[in-house]
Structure formats: structure tokens, C-alpha cells
Structure 1
Amino acid sequence: MKVIEIGSIGPGPFCAMMLADLGADIIRVDRVAGAELVGPSADFRTEVLNRGRRSVGIDLKDAAGRELVLGLVERADALIEGFRPGVAERLGIGPQECSERNPRLVYGRMTGFGQEGPLARTVGHDLNYVAQSGVLSLIGRAGQPPTPPLSLVGDFGGGGMVLALGILAALWETRRSGAGQVIDAAMCDGAALLGAAFHGFARTGAWNPARGTNLVDSGAPFYDVYLTADERWIAVAALEPRFYAELLAVLGFDAASLPEQHDRSQWPRLKELFADAIRARTRDEWVEAARGRDACLTAVLDVEEAAEDEHNRARGGFVEVDGLTQPAPAPRFSRTPARVDSPPPLPGEHTRSALADWGVSQDAVASLVEAGVLSSISEPTPSSADADRLEP
């Protein structure tokens, strides 16, 4: 599968990373100068979301650069862009222009609020989209404000992963119809979809709108995290009666002396009893006490521990690429294993080789480099951020 990724940040790169992990040949189109990272990372070589594909530097505002991208579209199966609505059209690489060059192209569009609607052109970040979806209102502890769920629900789950699924589904349909189509992936839509079960619970009265009072939102004493004697944490998630009985046995409780598991009026008291008991031993002592038992008790590992954990190592859950440890591709395949083929690129690092592999002559590349339409650089040049590009 051949994919053009118009360089962006957050959900677009996550979508492209997933496809690259699964074997897609992806050209990432970065700016000819001034490509930037927005967020904690300041090093392109450690931007894990950009792994597994090659970068070319193209000036999309130059007619020759636009024509080059449209020429690549003729050879592509899919394109991913994360501009605000209307920007790709102004650049001349919108769905209509691309479809005219390749009617089978699947055109993936990643935005926060979608291609139309009152908020379509409103600037935002992950948290805004999750708030709009209704899901943010459900996340948090009792008496506390809603808790930002990192960028997992909007950018990555509701955004990049949903777009990747849409692209693959559209490509499957194209095999039958012979026609491409546009994928309108909005993070507010995807975040709502991730929360489908909880939207359903709320509308049928099965969910208390007060945060931190429900079964899986930290309300239940048997579904929460607890501090241990060594100032570390364990997670318990013993929902079913048989698992709950095992948890009580591990913690040293006599079930007959405790309130009934689902007596919500007694949950605060039961939570205090659990907290006091768990505070008496270290995290690893609790893990050892629960080993081999169905108590649903797990250590809360930090990122360093997760990479070195016995189970995760046995599964190959993390890989090291150029000295950078990172999560391995998922899911697992029995016959065609996914893998990380290359580290994150510098912007424009593969301009010559990637374009050659996609059928662009080296003479044409050399001419465009000389004209400033293409860059083939070894280090990024700092510049102000492009306000038209999606931000995490």
C-alpha cells in the first residue's frame, strides 16, 4: 500500500505510524524549511509517531511543488492530511484535484470538529474535542473536575486510529467499486464513538452523572488504584463475584465481616478499609501475594518498568530502534508480522531516494531542489509554527 502523508502533528502521524507499522510505503511530505514539533519532544529523531516512513521536503505553495504532489497521488492508494477545512483546497491538493488525477484514491481528512458544522473551522486541541464529545464529563474522581485523559481519547484513539480504520475499510470497498472516496475523520466524532457504551449507560439510567460514583470511574472500591507502603501503586479491578472473593482473600479480609460488594452506600467505608490494608505492604509484596490467583491485582508500572517487565518482554511489547525504546506495533499477526522498519526521519531526509522509488526522475528532483521547491536537508531549520496545521 502506498500512502502520501501531508506532514502534521498528533492524530495524522499516529494514523500514518499504524499504517507504516503494518507495512505501508509512506512518503511524509514536510515543509521545505521550518518543519516543527509541537509538544514535549524537541528532537525529530525521538518523535515516535513519525517512525517507519520517509520524509521529503516540498513547498506546497509553489505550483511545481503542488504538481509534484499530484503526480505522486497518481501512484498512491491513499492520502492523509490534517489541515483545517478548506486549506488543502486552497493549496490545490484537495479531494477534487486529487480525484481527477487518481479516481481510486482514498483521501483521509483528519480534523477536530469535522469538515462541516458550526465549529468546523474553530481552532482546538485534543481536550476541546473530547469535551465536545461528552466523554470528558464522565472522567474524574468524586468531587473533582473532569480529568484530561492525556491525548488518548481525542488525538490517538478517536482521531488517528479511527482514521486508519476508515482508510483500510475504504480501500477494501475500492476493490469492489473501483472508486475512491473521502474519509471525514473528526476527533469529536471518534471520541464520542469510543464512549459509545457510556453514552448508552447514561441514557438508560445505568450511569450516575456524578463523576467517581460508578463502577469503573473510581467509585467502586474494587475498581481503583491504591497507595502501598513504599509510596507506589497497585490497581485492583475485581468486578465479578468470584474475582472479588479472591481479592478479599489476598487482602486478608473475611467476606462475612464486610458489606455486600454492590451496596453502594457502603462503598466509601469499604474503600477506606481497602486503602488501610493495602498501605501496610509494598507494591511488589502485593503483586507476589496475588501471583497465581484470580484477584485482578496488578502493579501500576511506570514507562521504564513497563519496557522491562517480564510479561511485556516475553511478548515483545517494546522494541528499541536507534537506541530509543518504544511500544512495538500492534496487533500481532500470525503470518505477516508488523515491525518498525526505520526511526523517525528528519524533515526532507529522504527527498531524493523516496521520490526515486516512487518514479520521479533524479534530474527532475535535482532541478526542483535547485529551484527551492524541494529540500534535501540533514537538519531541520527552526521557524514559526504553521497555523493551518492541526495541533495536538
Structure 2
Amino acid sequence: MTGVGHDDPERPRGPLSGVRVLELAGLAPGPFAGMMLADHGAEVLRVDRVAAVAAAGDTPRTDVMDRGKRTIGLDLKSPEGVAAFKDLAAAADVVIEVFRPGVAERLGIGPEDLHAVNPRLVYGRMTGWGQDGPLARTAGHDIDYIAVAGVLSMLGRAGGPPTPPINILGDFAGGGLMLAYGVLLALFERERTGRGTVIDAAMVDGATTLFAMFFDSARTGLWGPRGTNLLDTGAPMYDTYETADGEYVAVGALEGPFWAELLERTGLTGLPSRGDPANWPAIRARLAEVFRTRTRDEWQEVFDGSDACVSPVLSIAEAPHHPHNKARASFTDVGGVVQPTPAPRLRSSPPAPLTPATRLHDLTSWGLDESRAKALRDTGVLA
């Protein structure tokens, strides 16, 4: 798959090499989608506010989700800025837009505006509620989207309130990741049709899709009230337990052989049958008692290399130092910031060295010659 322009000779190649992405600056989901594309070779140009770029100067951006990108500032409220953005879009394959419905159209950079100058453009729209529906133009956050999706009601312990899992399900998994997936679908479709399309990536839709299996289970009665099921802390063999040092271990011994190995390594005997949910409280109490007899690291040694499915609950600071993560190089240092390496991994395109985001000074390859760029800078439209 080839893009409209030429590859940046300085950036590492990858499966998306040659694909050019214009990312309009916004909150987490849009930048995350751009990061996913940049991680695999796309040339991502982040378009931010002039004031933000001018204030940052030439200092590389160490924000994890801006890694591998280039940045400019553009005043999209001025006719000159809109015209410049259209020229950039003419040289792009993808636009990532993160405004409320109707805002891009009012600015003059909506899908129809940009398809007029580039019919092959993939226009990705990232919102919480989607481009239509009664809530489309209202404000919201991750917690609101997963609430209406039916997802939040399923999260939390029995007898407690619904517990939001920070903003992973709506913003990142249901939002940014789904948008990146949509971009790949649209680029693949363009190879057959020769034309771009518009992606309506709504976090409420994405969150619902992630929980497809559970909607069916709830319908058939296989999934009960919050916190009473096999995978939502209802079962003692799938939960976390405090250790002697106030840390935690995670237990996921669902299958019989794994459960047998857990019992052998902990020395627990005489437990009632775990097949009867009525016995779960008693089993949980015995597990909690035994796990409090040793520290987290001591339990890690006990279960090291076993199939008992017991793991230490590590902090974000600790995770990069775990032997497995170190062996796989699952984390890397970019500009002094330790962060996850790109995922997933392609055998033909191993993760390339990452760089912090930097300013893009030469826009010639994006369709703006230097004299025009200078005029825009002089009038404060471009930074």
C-alpha cells in the first residue's frame, strides 16, 4: 500500500510506510490512534494550535502518544489556515478529526471539503457518541459512554457500585484503537475502489463491541449480576489476594489442572468443591489466609515457571523490570521516558527505534513551498 507522497527518508520503515496521516490535536483517543499508526511506519503530522506549538519551541515532545510524529501549529479559524490545511490534506492519505459533530464542517475542513481536493482521503472521525443520535452533540467522557453502552453496569464487586476501569474501555480500546482499526479497513477498501471514505468511530459503539460476548451470556442467563460471575471477582479462582507485605497477587486458576497446581504449591487441602458457587466464600477465605503468610515476591518464587496462573500484581514502575518483559523488550526508553514498545509485532517488521515528536519545519513534501510557509509564519497562521 503506497501513500500519496514520498516516504520520509529519516523515519523507520514499517508495514504502514508511505501512508501519510494528518492528526488534528485533541484528547487521548485521537492521539492514541495516531500513535498506533505511527508505531508501524505511518508518517503522522500532528496539527496543533499555533500558540501551543510556539510555546513549546523546538523542544521534542516526550508525550508517549506523540512519539514518532512531527508537529506544526496552524490557525484553522483563519481562511489562510484552512486553505493550508486543505493543501496538506491533498498530500495525505488519512485525516484524524476529533471535534464534536459539525465543528469541522463549520471550519471548512469537513469530509466533503477535503474530499473535494483529495477523493482518496480516508477521513477518520473520533467522538464519544458518534456523528448522529440524540446525544451526538452533547459533552461526555469515558465513564458516560461505557455507562450508556451497558458496559459499566458489569464492572465492580458484588454489593458495590459500578466501578469504572479508569478511561481504558471508552477512550482507548473502544475509541482510539477502533479508529486505528477503521483506518486500516478504509485503506484496504481504497485499494479496491480507488476512493476514500468517512469513518464514524464512536466510543459508545466500540465499548459495546468489546463486550459482545457478555451481551449474549447475559441474554442466555450464563452471566449474572455484577461481581457474582466467574471472571468478575465472583469466583475465588479468578481474583486478587493481599500478601504479607501489603502487595497483591493475581490468581487465574480457572481450569482443573491449574487449580490443582495452585493447591499443591500453596499446600491447601480439604477445600470444598469449587464447582458449587455456594462454597466460593469459604474457598476465598482460605486463599486469602494462605496468601497473607508470604510476601508478593516470595509467592512469585513459589509459582515461578508453574501453570498455576498466579502472578504478582506489579505497578507501572515495576513492570518494565519484570524478567519476562525485559526478555521481550516490552518496554523502551524514548527521550528519557520509559514506555511500551509498539504492539502487535510483525515478524517481517520488528519494532524500530522510537523518537519523541519534533517540529516539522519543511512542509515542501506536504504541498506547501517555503515562500508560502514563510508568509503564513509571518502572519502568525503557521508555527
TM-score (norm 2): 0.92
- Cα shift at 1:44: 8.2
Q: Please point out which of 231, 236, 240 is paired with 1:221.
A: 236
Query: Is residue 229–residue 282 contact of structure 1 (8 Å, CA) maintained in 2?
Result: yes
Counterparts of 1:1-392 in structure 2, within 5 Å, are: 1-34=19-52, 45-209=61-225, 211-254=226-269, 257-345=270-358, 349-350=359-360, 352-353=361-362, 355-375=363-383
Q: What are structure 2's unaligned runs of at least 5 residues?
A: 1-18
Query: Is residue 234–residue 297 contact of structure 1 (8 Å, CA) maintained in 2?
Result: yes
Query: Is residue 52–residue 340 contact of structure 1 (8 Å, CA) maintained in 2?
Result: no
Query: Letter of the aligned partner of 1:336 in structure 2?
Result: S
**Which residue matches 1:382?**
none
Query: Is residue 104–residue 180 contact of structure 1 (8 Å, CA) maintained in 2?
Result: yes
Query: Letter of the aligned partner of 2:66 in structure 1?
Result: N
Identical pairs, percent: 52
Q: What are structure 1's unaligned runs of at least 5 residues?
A: 37-42, 376-392
Query: Is residue 243–residue 296 contact of structure 2 (8 Å, CA) maintained in 1?
Result: yes
Please give the alpha-carbon distance, in whole angstroms, between the structure 2 residues aligned to 1:156 and 1:326: 16
Query: Is residue 114–residue 184 contact of structure 1 (8 Å, CA) maintained in 2?
Result: yes
- Structure 1 residues 341 and 289, CA gap change in structure 2 (3 angstroms): closer
Larger deviation: 192-201 or 218-227?
Answer: 192-201
Deviant stretches of 4+, over 6 Å: none
TM-score (norm 1): 0.90
Please give the alpha-carbon distance, in whole angstroms, between the structure 1 residues aligned to 2:53 and 2:252: 44
Number of residue pairs matched by the alignment: 361
Please give the alpha-carbon distance, in whole angstroms, between the structure 2 residues aligned to 1:27 and 1:55: 6
Q: What SS class does the counterpart of residue 345 from structure 2 fall into? A: coil
> What are the Cα deviations for residues 183-228 of structure 1, in whole angstroms up to 9, with x where unaligned?
000000001111111111111110012x211001001101000000
- Looking at both structures, which has the greater relative contact order when contacts are Cα pairs under 8 Å and sequence separation is at least 6? 1
Query: Is residue 166–residue 183 contact of structure 1 (8 Å, CA) maintained in 2?
Result: yes
Query: Is residue 104–residue 174 contact of structure 1 (8 Å, CA) maintained in 2?
Result: yes
Q: What SS class does the counterpart of residue 190 from structure 1 fall into? A: helix
- Cα shift at 1:291: 1.7
- Structure 1 residues 45 and 71, CA gap change in structure 2 (3 angstroms): closer
- Superposed CA RMSD in Å reads 1.5
> What are the Cα deviations for residues 81-134 of structure 1, in whole angstroms up to 9, with x where unaligned?
000000000000000011111111110000000000000011011111111111
> What are the Cα deviations for residues 30-66 of structure 1, in whole angstroms up to 9, with x where unaligned?
0111479xxxxxx983421111101110000111110
